Amino acid sequence: MKVIYADHAATTFPRPPQVIEAMVNYLRHIGCNPGRGGYRHALDAARLVYEARTLLATFFHVPKPEQIIFTPNVTSSLNLVIKGLLKPGDHVLLSSMEHNAVVRPLMRVAAERKLQVEKLPCKPDGTLDPKLVQNALRPNTRLVVLTHASNVTGTLLPVYEIGEILAGKDIFYCLDVAQTAGSEEINFQDLHCDYLAFTGHKGLLGPPGIGGLCLSERAAACTLPLVEGGTGSRSDEERQPELLPDKFESGTQNVPGIAGLAAGIKLVQETGLEKIKKHKEMLIAAFLEGLGSIPGIKVYGTKIPSKTTATVSLNLDGIDNGDLSFMLEQGFGIMTRSGLHCAPWAHQTIGSFPQGTLRFSFGLANTLQEIEEIISALRTIAAEVA
Ligand SMILES: Cc1ncc(COP(=O)(O)O)c(C=O)c1O
């Protein structure tokens, strides 16, 4: 049976050959640790990592490459921000569409350090009124942390407008761009943000196990590292060096992952964000139109293609979304994700808690033909369960 992969919000698949080749090339021909030796292979590895850092700085419009640090994924980056920045008594704002990658570390730190955490309510379509941020600010507000787009509905939050509100204030601004890096324009400087947490294995087309964090200089100075140890620099000192990126990068790095991520970003750049966005908007528009013709389907989110990523969440009357996901795969080879998608707050916001939703999320490789096939499969199942 032909398969249709519609779970790009979880991870990109299949991986582009260039990404695989870049990883194999490192493993086969370089293979050594960057910054840990003066011989050719170590220098080649250091060059590879430096070039990837520079590429990321250009891609996200970050002033200096050393303001990019590599982590295993966006979850690790968000843990670093939350655990490394916040102090007892701090007030933190976040939205009601956040992923557990933010909610769980924040709830632990809030309990341990007696933080004041304020959840800003998004509308049932997942949108957030920037005025809510403005009105919620207090003298002790230390951090505003927001997802750029919901991984449940795809709804984009007004992160640039909120950046304008926070600009020039003594408040740190952190964005989780897991769902938007590689499909939306993300300009670190125009956003006025202090932390940009990204993951490599979704829209950036890289492998799993590599992600990172862009930090402003003031954020880097105020954040404690989560992990300390060997950096290959200032080894005579007993304390972790303050210099970037070493302050936050201890231990042997995932160099094959970095090589794959750099190849993925180059592909995104070659294709162009504009083209990627247009393609996804076209798919979402066709998908939403098709869904409108199927009785019993409830679609969540804004339903405006330009205001979402290529993600649509839905439920079908008469069938549990887990069973629907199973039937789509078994009967039609269509791969989707059901349930809460690690974002229970988002479901409470849009009215799909606790049952969750069936999520479709598309990538550059998906076609209009596939959208038609998915609509036809859903129509068949809808008729069966009606
Ligand atoms: C909005 C959001 N934040 C965080 C994550 C966690 O990503 P990772 O598992 O790569 O750390 C995801 C991934 O599903 C996500 O969609």
337 CB less than 6 Å from ligand 1? Answer: no
User: Which residues fall within 8 angstroms of residue 52, CB to CB, at 6 or more apart?
Assistant: 258, 259, 261, 262
149 CB less than 6 Å from ligand 1? Answer: no
- Ligand 1 centroid–CA 236 distance in Å is 37
Q: H or E element: which one contains 285?
A: helix 273-292
| Cα-only R_g, the chain | 21
71 CB less than 6 Å from ligand 1? Answer: no
- Ligand 1 centroid–CA 176 distance in Å is 8
Domains of the chain are 4-13+272-385 (3.90.1150.10), 17-270 (3.40.640.10)
- For the segment 4-42, what is each residue's pLDDT rounded down to a tens digit? 999 999 999 999 999 999 999 999 999 999 987 889 999
Across the chain, the runs of DSSP E, i.e. the strands, are: 4-5, 68-71, 91-95, 116-120, 141-147, 172-176, 195-199, 211-215, 297-299, 311-316, 334-335, 337-339, 357-361
Chain-centre distance of CA 325, in angstroms?
Answer: 23
Ligand 1: which of 342, 345, 361 to mutate, most ligand atoms within 8 Å of CB? 342
Atom of ligand 1 nearest to the CA of 208: 10
Nearest CA to ligand 1 atom 15: 178
- For the segment 190-230, what is each residue's pLDDT rounded down to a tens digit? 999 999 999 999 999 999 999 999 999 999 999 999 999 98
- Ligand 1 centroid–CA 43 distance in Å is 32
* The token pair that represents 326 in the structure block: 């199973």
Strand-pair partners of 298: 315
pLDDT of residue 232: 86
Strand-pair partners of 299: 314
79 CB less than 6 Å from ligand 1? Answer: no
pLDDT of residue 134: 98
Q: Which DSSP string do the residues of 23-46 spell out, in sequence order? A: HHHIIIII-S-TTS-SSHHHHHHH
Atom of ligand 1 nearest to the CA of 211: 10
73 CB less than 6 Å from ligand 1? Answer: yes
- Ligand 1 centroid–CA 351 distance in Å is 21
Of 2, 3, 1, 7, nearest to 358 (Cα)? 7
> How crowded is residue 13: how many other Cβ atoms within 10 Å of its Cβ?
12
Ligand 1: which of 99, 157, 198 to mutate, most ligand atoms within 8 Å of CB? 99
Atom of ligand 1 nearest to the CA of 77: 11
151 CB less than 6 Å from ligand 1? Answer: yes
Strand-pair partners of 215: 195
Strand-pair partners of 93: 118, 144
Of 60, 57, 58, nearest to 187 (Cα)? 60
User: Which residues fall within 8 angstroms of residue 269, CB to CB, at 6 or more apart?
Assistant: 59
Put residue 342 in one of left, alpha, beta given phi > 0 → left and psi -120 to 50 → alpha. Answer: left
Atom of ligand 1 nearest to the CA of 72: 11
> How crowded is residue 237: how many other Cβ atoms within 10 Å of its Cβ?
10
179 CB less than 6 Å from ligand 1? Answer: yes
Atom of ligand 1 nearest to the CA of 101: 4
pLDDT, tens digit only, all 386 positions of the chain: 899 999 999 999 999 999 999 999 999 999 999 987 889 999 999 999 999 999 999 999 999 999 999 999 999 999 999 999 999 999 999 999 999 999 999 999 999 999 999 999 999 999 999 999 999 999 999 999 999 999 999 999 999 999 999 999 999 999 999 999 999 999 999 999 999 999 999 999 999 999 999 999 999 999 999 999 988 888 889 999 999 999 999 999 999 999 999 999 999 999 999 999 999 999 999 999 999 999 999 999 999 999 999 999 999 999 999 999 999 999 999 999 999 999 999 999 999 999 999 999 999 999 999 999 999 999 999 999 99
261 CB less than 6 Å from ligand 1? Answer: no
Chain-centre distance of CA 175, in angstroms?
Answer: 9
Q: What is the distance between the alpha carbons of residues 40 and 91, in angstroms, rounded to a whole number?
A: 49
Of 265, 287, 322, nearest to 6 (Cα)? 287
Reported pTM = 0.97
